[in-house]
Amino acid sequence: MGDGKRAESILSSYVGYARDTVSVKDFRQGQTIVMHEKSVMIKETKIRAPRVSQRGDTLTYLVNSFRQKQDRTITDVIKKMPGLQVGEDGTLTYTIKKSHKTAIY
């Protein structure tokens, strides 16, 4: 310690292990401190995928992130997806060029 005082105990801690404190006066030179595993329960973890992702020339849209209660058909949902348009004949167009590789999950 930088203030000239001597530490009274050694605290050992590491993620996944129980914390342990050893008194300095009981600690012997060369002594090994054995740490014991301790599981930690986390409350909740949410993993969110991006709404739209691109790999090479393929766009992937996650339908559930665009779908709303009032949507009756997949066309209603696709119309909300950025860059996508559905033609009168059902042709799917991405911005200006027709898309041949669009994955909708």
Residue spans of alpha helices (H) in the chain: 74-78
The domain limits of the chain are 7-44, 52-104
List the structure tokens of 61. Answer: 């849209």
pLDDT in tens, 45-89: 888 888 888 888 788 888 888 999 999 998 899 888 888 888 888
Q: What is the CB-side half-sphere exposure of residue 14 using CA atoms within 13 A?
A: 7
- Whether residue 101 is predicted with pLDDT greater than 70 in this model: the reply is no
In this predicted model, which residue has the larger pLDDT, 2 or 38?
38
For 3-55, how does the pLDDT look when each residue is reduced to its tens digit (9 = 90+)?
667 778 889 999 899 999 988 888 888 888 889 999 888 889 888 888 888 88
